[in-house]
Amino acid sequence: MGNGAADAAHPAELEHERQARALAGQVMKFDIVTIFPRMVEAGLVEGVIGRGRTSGLLDIVVHDLRAFTSDRHRTVDDVPFGGGPGMVLKPEPLFGAVEKIRETRGTPDAVLLMSPAGRRFTQADARRLAKAGHVVVLCGRYEGVDERVREHLATEDVSIGDYVLSGGEVPALAIVDAIGRQVPGVVGDEQSVDEDSFTRGLLDHPHYTRPAEFRGHRVPDVLLSGHHGEVRQWRRREALRQTVERRPDLVADAPLDDEERKWLRGLQGLREQDEKQGSE
């Protein structure tokens, strides 16, 4: 896993660290409400988020929506008023779940409803919500969720992109991952969180590792040269090139310095030439 120190740490030491951070108020709480708790739990035991939990920096509880039903059949959905196909998640279990969370875990700073009709979730949202101490995530299923949940229970409704998924569970995992990794200490290397491509507003530069030649394809010489200044410059320029070629929409909002703006004019000139040649 590449983090020998954390893996080798004794549970007792970790508990000490967790208590210290809890006292300093740096533990972030998440509560996720779903009809597929095992599916969500399975996505939270591995990797960066799993380690954030065992180290005590992330306090995540997954709640089974059916636990907040009151009928014999544990019904969470019903037919839509007005008729039509599909089923709608009933309001009572979702309101009941958030009330229970309030009583046992405290009043959350945000209640996010996962919805294909929500505003697109961005890196700026991840950074904003990581500053909150407690976020509740509600997962929809079926054709939709009773509108009173969006109006009177959720504080915001969010989508992860324009494609149709079967429910809010995968979006919930994506969002908890994006927020959780912004919590100080969750990602071992703070620098890598700050230098994240979306934080800089550009895509990442290309990466290479050994061998220096693979099936006839060579690694760019500058990376083997040992000239750290030239390597840094190459990476900034290649990050800009990748962004112009693949995500030109990002370039407009990226904070560029004078040198990067000069490169950009050159790269955009090349793109216009490419486009002309493409249409010939």
Q: Which amino acid is at 52?
A: G
User: Considering 51, 141, 150, 181, which one is annotated as catalytic?
Assistant: 181
Question: Closer to ligand 9D3 at the Cβ: 48 or 170?
Answer: 170
* 261 carries an active-site annotation: no
Whole-number minimum distance, CB 157 to ligand 9D3, in Å? 8
The radius of gyration computed from the CA coordinates of the chain, to the nearest angstrom, equals 23
Active site residue 116: yes
Does the annotation count 143 as an active-site position? yes
| 253 catalytically annotated | no
Interface residues with ligand 9D3 (CB under 6 A) are 114-116, 140, 143-144, 159-161, 163-168, 171
Q: Which of 80, 91, 116, 206 is an active site residue?
A: 116
Q: Closer to ligand 9D3 at the Cβ: 57 or 169?
A: 169
Closest CB to ligand 9D3 among 179 and 239?
A: 179
Query: Smallest distance from the beta carbon of 158 to ligand 9D3, in angstroms?
Result: 7
Which is closer to ligand 9D3, CB of 36 or CB of 95?
Answer: 36
CB under 8 Å to 99, separation ≥6 — which residues? none
- Shortest CB 120 distance to ligand 9D3, Å: 9
Smallest gap from residue 38 Cβ to ligand 9D3 (A): 18
Per-residue DSSP letters for the chain?
---HHHHHS-HHHHHHHHHHHHHTT-PEEEEEEES-HHHHHHTTSSHHHHHHHHTTSEEEEEEEGGGG--STT---EEPPTT--SS-EE-HHHHHHHHHHHHHHH---SEEEEEEEEEEEP-HHHHHHHHTSSEEEEEE--TTEE-HHHHHHT-SEEEES-SS--SSSHHHHHHHHHHHHTTSTTSSS-HHHHHT-HHHHTSPPPP---S-SEETTEEPPHHHHS--HHHHHHHHHHHHHHHHHHH-HHHHTTS---HHHHHHHHHHHHHHHHHHHHHH-
What is the nearest approach in angstroms of ligand 9D3 to the Cβ of residue 118? 6
Q: Which is nearer to ligand 9D3, 70 or 166 (CB)?
A: 166
Kindly name the residue from 17, 41, 59, 196 that is annotated as catalytic.
196
The catalytic site residues sit at 116, 143, 181, 196
